[in-house]
Amino acid sequence: MLSRFTRPWKFCYNFAMKLLLATNNAHKMREIMEILGSDFPQMQTLGQAGLEIDVVEDGETFQANAIKKAEEVLRISGFPAALADDSGLMVDALNGAPGVYSARYAGEGHNDAQNNAKLMRDMAGIPREERTCRFASAVALARQGKETICTLGTVEGILLNEARGSNGFGYDPYFYYPPFGRSFAELSAEEKNAVSHRKRALEALQEILRRERE
C-alpha cells in the first residue's frame, strides 16, 4: 500500500539516500548496516539524528506495527527514508502467542524474566513434540513518494522447559535451534546474527531493492 504520509513530490532512488532507523539500539544498527549499507551508506539512529519519537505499537501483526512505526517516523522526521522493525516469539501450542505481545507478555512494565516465567506456566505439561515455535521479524522501509516495503523473516525452533545459556535476551534461553543443537542464548552474537529472523527479513528487503534497480 502507499503510505498515507507520503508527500506528493517525485521520489528518486539513489545510493546516497539517508536512512533513519527507528531505534537507538547500536547492535541492531550494526546488523542493518552490514546488510543494507551499500543501499543506504548514510544511516542514523533516532538518537544520532537528535530525535525522540515514540510510536504506539497497537497493530495485530508484526507487519502492521513495523509499517506504522516506519511511516510515522518518516512523517515526523522529514528524512527521505525510515526503517523500522517489530519482532517476537510465536508458539504453535499457544496459537501464535506471545506474538506481538512478546515484550509485554506478563503485562505492561514486566521484564524478560517475568515474561519467560509466564510462558513456562502457560506451556506446563506440553510435550517436546508440541513445543514448536519460531522467532519472527517484520522489517518495514518507508520512503518519500514511494510505496512502503515490508518483509518478514522467521527462524524455526523448539521451546525448552528450562533456560539454557546466558547470552542474548528475551526468550533466547528457551529457544532451542536444532541446526546448531543449542539455545539462542548459548550462541555467540555472530552465530545468532548469521541465522536470525531479522537478518532474513533484511535480506528479503535487500532483494526487493535490488529488483527495483533493474
Task: Note whether 101 and 88 are within 8 A (CB).
Answer: yes
User: Known catalytic residue: 86?
Assistant: yes
What residue has cell string 547500536?
26
Of the candidates 39, 85, 86, 172, the residue annotated as catalytic is 86
**Which of 131-134's residues contact partners 24+ apart within 8 Å by CB, and which partners?**
131/91, 131/93, 131/158, 131/159, 131/160, 132/91, 132/92, 132/93, 132/156, 132/157, 132/158, 132/159, 133/89, 133/90, 133/91, 133/92, 133/157, 133/158, 133/159, 133/175, 134/89, 134/90, 134/197
Q: Report DSSP state, residue 144.
A: T
Grid cell listed for 19: 536512512
Residues designated as active site: 86
